[in-house]
């Protein structure tokens, strides 16, 4: 097996293993229950692409970033997301049985939904296990493109699974219930991220 193929498979296998039980899958699923599937998928894939480039470019140097700064930024992003979701979820008004992507006065545009999804996942991936894994593999192999592609394909696979599940459950649950659950999940991520600073 060539070094390039080994680098690709190593990055793919490692990133897939750490992402399946990770907050990235849950965050993508939650976003899909709030917005339409395609904008979410486009946004998170763009975030993954940028983060893979960053991880490969900096390699193991990325692990030297201050943990406190990374944790505070990620916690703030999840905190803002939790506030917005909970505010809308507990807002007075009829729930209807509408699709979560149509709740509120009007559905968000493709671009706005994609940008929101990009921002949430871009922040969540800083210092994440998958980014560190990608940086480590990039430092080990002299095949940055293969490593980056392997990590990206793994991340997109996880995102695709999350979007599929989110789109399926969205039409079967009341939108406000979804928003409340999503808000509490995001708040939990914010608290968990801050709690990690104490250890």
Which residue, among 140, 134, 143, has the nearest Cα to 62 in the 3D structure?
Answer: 134
Residues 104-113 have pLDDT tens digits of 434 678 898 8
Structure tokens at 175: 């939108």
Tell me which range, 10-19, 29-38, 151-160, 180-189, is most confidently predicted by mean pLDDT: 151-160
CA 14/CA 128 separation, integer angstroms:
13
Of 38-47, 83-92, 171-180, give the lowest mean pLDDT range.
171-180
Q: For position 47, what pLDDT does the model report? A: 92
Of 19-23, 53-57, 103-107, 149-153, give the lowest mean pLDDT range.
103-107
Q: For position 105, what pLDDT does the model report? A: 36
Q: Could you give the percent of the chain with pLDDT greater than 70? A: 75
Q: Are residues 3 and 138 in contact, defined by beta-carbon separation less than 8 angstroms?
A: no
- Tokens 């999350």: give the residue: 162
pLDDT over threshold 90, residue 96: no
Q: How far is CA 84 from CA 45, 70, 89, 146, 187, in A?
A: 23, 22, 9, 38, 11
Radius of gyration for the alpha carbons in the chain, expressed in angstroms and rounded: 17
pLDDT over threshold 80, residue 50: yes
Q: For position 36, what pLDDT does the model report? A: 87
- Does 43 or 170 have the greater pLDDT score? 43
- Does 155 or 84 have the greater pLDDT score? 155
Q: Are residues 51 and 122 in contact, defined by beta-carbon separation less than 8 angstroms?
A: yes
- Does 122 or 136 have the greater pLDDT score? 122
SS (H, E, C) 98-166: CCHHHCCCCCCCHHHHHHHHHHHHHHHHCCCHHHHHHHHHHHHCCCHHHHHHHHHHHHHHHHHHHHHHH
Query: By three-state DSSP, how is residue 171 classified?
Result: coil
């Amino acid at each position: 097996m060539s070094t390039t193929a080994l680098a690709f498979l190593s990055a793919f296998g490692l990133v897939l293993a750490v992402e399946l039980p990770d907050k990235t899958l849950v965050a993508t699923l939650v976003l899909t229950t709030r917005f339409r599937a395609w904008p979410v998928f486009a946004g998170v894939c763009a975030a993954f692409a940028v983060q893979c480039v960053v991880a490969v470019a900096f390699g193991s140097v990325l692990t030297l970033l201050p943990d406190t700064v990374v944790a505070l930024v990620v916690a703030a992003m999840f905190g803002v997301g939790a506030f917005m979701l909970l505010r809308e979820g507990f807002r007075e008004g009829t729930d209807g049985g509408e699709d979560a992507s149509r709740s509120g006065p009007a559905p968000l545009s493709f671009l706005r939904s994609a940008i929101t999804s990009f921002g949430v996942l871009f922040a969540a991936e800083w210092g994440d296990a998958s980014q560190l894994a990608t940086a480590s593999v990039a430092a080990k192999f002299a095949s940055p493109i293969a490593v980056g592609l392997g990590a990206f394909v793994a991340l997109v696979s996880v995102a695709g699974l999350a979007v599929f599940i989110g789109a399926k459950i969205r039409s079967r649950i009341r939108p406000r219930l979804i928003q409340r659950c999503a808000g509490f999940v995001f708040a939990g991520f914010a608290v968990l991220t801050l709690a990690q600073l104490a250890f």
